[in-house]
């Protein structure tokens, strides 16, 4: 969860930082520029565009809050911490321009539906343990429901975070045959207390085995990995495993075991918080190793992605360097994430490959269905917003996307005070916070950030000092629009909006058109049902669970403005 931290430095220091950051980022641009040139990446030829056995199984491994600098070859300090996952990526195809959403719930809603969160009402924020809302999505079929209909056994291990106030929102009601995990955004890895670092006096356990509470004091990641291994080994036919890792999200907690070979490498990390983060990264990789050892990888499509960018703000210590921004925001550091796919048997070429086309989190559903030989362009829930990349990734088809809507959100999650206030709509003249925020990539390279707060690029922390983590008071800077050419400027150091008003206006028109096309009332509810939820949890042996009947629609939502021109600032 994002915290508001205020440092004391002034606007002059803040603005001065950007000048320095721009120079540093320019020196690092070579690290990122290659993957942005579509079709010119220095790699071997593409593997065969074979369609795999329709009975191939699928493992979708999603890591939580992993930053650009936290994984694989790109990491400046943790490249050694993911040997299994890096090897799997090298046996498949990496997505160098993979975009998730900025936060957990919107990203997971997009992942499992193939639809933009704004079409689901899930575009704004995260579901806490006692908020009465979730992925209602009436008539929308989730990926596990589609695969179950096609004869797959389905299971989820780990984090759900798509709603639990009603049992109809639970994963066992949305296509999963088996579930071992938790409902909320994070929990203590040992006690399994939901939102343990912020729960105050309303602390409840959050661990479920199917629909039943489970008492277990083992490290969560170990529990979920063992459950996943059993599911893979015991399933005789095709399966879909959604491994939704609780790591590397807060709280920072040393795993039950840390490999001896990593001791010297860990000792070299100067920040103790970053050291524990590295230990959790090692444990995440070990969980992946367990699962793939149990699976027949000659008959498994293995997919990997982070749900959003790294959480760089305390108490977290994820890192996106040299990308600007962090989880919760639309700069590259908040939404550009690591992802790869390894086809059954591995890709044919003898060197790691990179797919340079734009790939959105909404594209997993159609791409996976295509990988399994399912050509249906829709699920029973209707058309998806995602596109099929399989012929592009494993064939000669051109990149499937040149435009990518990252998000449109009429409520800026930075304004917690506004989100918890009344739902009365302010005019643009009196409150510019009601201009929607979001981001769009057009023509594969031009990026618009709408009504966003400027943010720095956080370097890898060298100490545990709070001032080191928050060396720059970005929170005092006003919201504004940004325009970047990602091909020339992947670190977003040169804002083109002031000097290219033509580009700014063209991008804004397209953004507004998409906002009006997809917009629906958000289901986000800032009101927490503290008393009702707490009473229900207490009756349920102090475990988080449902507290509303399935036919109850008591989920307060922010009503959008009736005036489209005012609300979306169409020009």
Q: Please write the tens of the pLDDT for every residue from 125-174.
A: 888 888 888 888 667 899 999 999 999 999 999 999 999 899 999 999 99
Using CA atoms, how far apart are residues 389 and 367, in angstroms rounded to an integer? 5
Characterize 420-435 residue by residue with b for buried, 16 or more Cβ atoms within 10 angstroms of its Cβ, and e for exposed: eeeeebeeeeeeebbb
Query: What six digits make up the tokens of 173?
Result: 């009601």
pLDDT value of residue 515: 84
Using CA atoms, how far apart are residues 556 and 430, in angstroms rounded to an integer? 25
Using CA atoms, how far apart are residues 338 and 94, in angstroms rounded to an integer? 8
Number of C-beta neighbours around residue 319 at 10 A: 29
DSSP-derived letter for residue 194 is B
pLDDT value of residue 426: 31
pLDDT value of residue 143: 95
Describe the strand order of the beta sheet including 480-485 as a list of residue ranges.
Answer: 404-409, 437-442, 446-452, 480-485
Number of C-beta neighbours around residue 454 at 10 A: 23
What are the pLDDT digits (tens) for 259-272? 999 999 999 999 99
Domain range annotation of the chain: 11-32+404-549+556-568, 55-393
Task: Find how far residue 151's CA is from the centre of its chain.
Answer: 28
Using CA atoms, how far apart are residues 394 and 93, in angstroms rounded to an integer? 9
Is the pLDDT score of 520 beyond 80?
A: no
Using CA atoms, how far apart are residues 452 and 324, in angstroms rounded to an integer? 13
Per-residue pLDDT averaged across 52-65, rounded?
A: 88
Per-residue pLDDT averaged across 306-335, rounded?
A: 94
For the chain, the average pLDDT equals 82
pLDDT > 70 fraction of the chain, expressed in percent and rounded: 76
pLDDT value of residue 350: 64
Q: How far is CA 361 from CA 62, 200, 408, 535, in A?
A: 11, 34, 15, 37
Among 489, 508, 488, CA closest to 497: 508
pLDDT value of residue 37: 32
Among 13, 65, 38, CA closest to 399: 38
Per-residue pLDDT averaged across 471-493, rounded?
A: 86
Using CA atoms, how far apart are residues 545 and 208, in angstroms rounded to an integer? 9
Using CA atoms, how far apart are residues 255 and 276, in angstroms rounded to an integer? 9
Q: Find the angle CA(521)-CA(526)-CA(529) to the nearest 5 degrees.
A: 120
pLDDT value of residue 124: 78
H-type helices in 215-363, by residue range? Answer: 220-234, 263-267, 272-294, 332-335
Q: What is the pTM (predicted TM-score) of this model? A: 0.85
Instruction: Choose the weakest-confidence range: 252-261, 388-397, 468-477.
Output: 468-477
pLDDT value of residue 417: 36
More confident residue, 429 or 449: 449
More confident residue, 237 or 36: 237
Among 128, 104, 110, CA closest to 195: 128
Is the pLDDT score of 3 beyond 70?
A: no
Using CA atoms, how far apart are residues 226 and 463, in angstroms rounded to an integer? 35
Class of domain 55-393: alpha beta
pLDDT value of residue 381: 52
pLDDT value of residue 432: 35
Query: What six digits make up the tokens of 435?
Result: 């201009």
């Amino acid at each position: 969860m994002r915290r508001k931290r205020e440092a004391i430095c002034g606007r002059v220091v803040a603005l001065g930082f950007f000048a320095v950051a721009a120079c540093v980022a320019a020196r690092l641009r070579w690290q990122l520029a290659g993957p942005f040139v579509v079709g010119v990446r220095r790699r071997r030829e593409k593997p065969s565009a074979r369609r795999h056995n329709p009975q191939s199984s699928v493992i979708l491994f999603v890591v939580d809050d992993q930053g650009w600098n936290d994984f694989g070859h790109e990491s400046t300090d943790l490249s050694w911490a993911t040997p299994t996952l890096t090897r799997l990526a090298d046996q498949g195809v990496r997505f160098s321009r993979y975009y998730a959403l900025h936060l957990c719930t919107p990203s997971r809603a997009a992942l499992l539906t193939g639809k933009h969160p704004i079409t689901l009402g899930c575009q704004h924020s995260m579901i806490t343990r006692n908020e009465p809302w979730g992925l209602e999505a009436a008539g929308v079929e989730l990926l596990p429901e589609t695969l179950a209909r096609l004869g797959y056994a389905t299971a989820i291990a780990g984090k759900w975070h798509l709603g639990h106030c009603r049992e109809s929102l639970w994963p066992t009601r949305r296509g999963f045959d088996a579930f071992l995990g938790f409902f909320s955004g994070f929990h203590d890895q040992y006690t399994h207390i939901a939102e343990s670092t912020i729960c105050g006096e309303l602390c409840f356990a959050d661990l479920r085995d199917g629909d039943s509470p489970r008492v277990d004091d083992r490290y969560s990641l170990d529990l979920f990995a063992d459950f996943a291994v059993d599911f893979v080994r015991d399933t005789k036919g095709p399966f879909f495993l959604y491994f939704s890792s609780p790591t590397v999200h807060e709280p920072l907690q040393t795993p039950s075991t840390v490999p001896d070979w990593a001791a010297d490498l860990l000792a070299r990390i100067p920040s103790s918080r970053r050291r524990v983060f590295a230990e959790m990264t090692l444990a995440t990789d070990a969980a992946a190793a367990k699962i793939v050892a149990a699976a027949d990888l000659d008959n498994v499509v293995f997919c990997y992605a982070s749900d959003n960018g790294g959480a760089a703000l305390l108490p977290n210590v994820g890192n996106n360097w040299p990308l600007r921004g962090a989880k919760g925001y639309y700069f590259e550091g908040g939404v550009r994430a690591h992802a790869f796919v390894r086809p059954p048997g591995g890709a044919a070429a003898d060197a790691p490959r990179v797919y340079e086309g734009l790939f959105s989190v909404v594209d997993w559903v159609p791409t996976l269905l295509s990988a399994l030989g399912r050509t249906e362009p829709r699920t029973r829930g209707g058309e998806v917003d995602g596109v099929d990349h399989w012929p592009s990734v494993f064939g000669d088809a051109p990149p499937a996307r040149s435009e990518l809507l990252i998000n449109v959100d009429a409520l800026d999650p930075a304004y917690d005070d506004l989100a918890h206030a009344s739902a009365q709509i302010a005019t643009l003249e009196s409150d510019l916070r009601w201009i929607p925020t979001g981001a769009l990539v057009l023509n594969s390279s031009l990026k618009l950030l709408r009504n966003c707060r400027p943010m720095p690029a956080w370097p890898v922390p060298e100490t545990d000092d709070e001032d080191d983590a928050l060396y720059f008071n970005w929170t005092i800077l006003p919201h504004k629009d940004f325009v970047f050419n990602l091909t020339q400027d992947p670190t977003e150091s040169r804002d083109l909006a002031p000097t290219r008003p033509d580009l700014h206006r063209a991008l804004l028109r397209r953004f507004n058109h998409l906002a009006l096309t997809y917009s629906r009332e958000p289901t986000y509810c800032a009101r927490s049902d503290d008393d009702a939820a707490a009473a229900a949890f207490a009756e349920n042996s102090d475990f988080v669970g449902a507290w509303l009947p399935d036919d109850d629609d008591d989920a307060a939502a922010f009503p959008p403005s009736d005036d489209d021109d005012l609300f979306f600032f169409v020009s």
